[in-house]
Structure 1
């Protein structure tokens, strides 16, 4: 729930009972009850009962490492939701940050942004901990014997081009990172210059060269 505003327009019973004036919010009760305010015109302190925001309950589909489940969230009906938005979802199955990957309206129509009251389903994926697919090429640069591994890392883990990383028994040098379509803050969809970094939650696929000694000797 959002924090109450510092100032609100409301009639003042002392100096302006029929017209709204600006009031300073002094205190608010728990659960969105009465609010104590002070009129900016005459200084009169009184209590008001603010209008409650109209809310809607949305179905949220969460993708988590190849599996998915449905949860519900409550939000103001005029709240704008966009692809790429992140929010904390708390359910019996999960307490995690999720990212909006798609928004579904009625008749299965998809959009990039919509008011909550018009949304049927919000499609998301977990981004606190993510699984990232990595294509590993042999040290000699050959593509014929490339292999694929999946690494599990925190969503804010950084893949840096040119860095050597160890994941279990695999030691790899990052060559390039392809960025997901729902990621924001990037000006390219592929990063391959030494020093370029991409967060794991934003990485669609990582390309790397094997640095494990004798990694290919068994083959």
Structure 2
């Protein structure tokens, strides 16, 4: 095992190789000095991950000193496996909600499931607008100008409303499904 570690002899981070796993001894590949590097303790944090109006309890395991930030994506262990979630809020042990905190100060991590997301679409055909929903991977991209086949009909994406409040109208602009609040599409013949 090789990793970058600050070397007291070289006075900078250098590549070190693990030479004795049981004693956590690493040897600097630049100067040859040997040092003990103890593994950092990890903490298990309670996680609440939501998909639409359904929330599920899970847990996240991270190094104690790791700093978590709103908007960051992490893997959450839930009952039947794992989910990818985007941090929406961090609740401290004193009950206060913050956007950035060290893992050792966090009580609960609140997340939004971005592994599979619901994409809401407004389908326009003349004066009639029909709501439509699809479930897809959060990584799937949608582009203004793209043709969507829906129930045997074709619709052209005219606008994409983003979760952060932005609006994409220019043809060729795109966003990932996990970033989208709603897609507007016009029926084409």
**TM-score, structure 2 as length reference:** 0.82
Partner of residue 129, structure 2: 146
1:16-51 CA-to-partner distances (Å, cap 9, x unmatched) read xxxx42475122666x8523314755x35x4x4323
Matched residue of 2:3: which SS? Answer: coil
Match of 1:59 among 46, 56, 71: 46
Give the number of the structure whose residues are more often strand, by fraction: 2
SS at match of 1:84: coil
**Moved segments of 4+, more than 6 Å:** none
Query: Shift in Å at residue 163 of structure 1?
Result: 1.3
Describe the shift of the 1:172–1:54 C-alpha distance in structure 2 as closer, same or farther (beyond 3 A).
same
Task: State the SS of the aligned residue for 2:9.
Answer: strand
Q: CA deviation at 1:167?
A: 3.8
How much has 1:161 moved relative to structure 2?
Answer: 0.8
Q: Deviation of residue 7 (structure 1)?
A: 3.1
Structure 1 residues without counterparts, runs of 5 or longer: 10-19, 182-187, 214-219
CA RMSD, Structure 1 to Structure 2 (Å): 2.7
**Among 6, 9, 12, which residue is 1:8 paired with?**
6
1:201/1:53 CA distance change after superposition, 3 Å: same
Count of matched residue pairs: 186
2:178 counterpart SS class: helix
Which has the higher Rg, Structure 1 or Structure 2? 1
72-81 vs 196-205, which moves further: 72-81
The correspondence of residues 56-205 of structure 1 with structure 2, limited to 5 A, is 56-138=43-125, 140=126, 142=127, 145-169=128-152, 171-181=154-164, 189-205=166-182
Deviation at 1:180, TM superposition (A): 1.4
TM-score by length of 1: 0.72
Structure 2: gaps of 5 or more residues: none
In 2, distance between residues paired with 1:40 and 1:53?
24
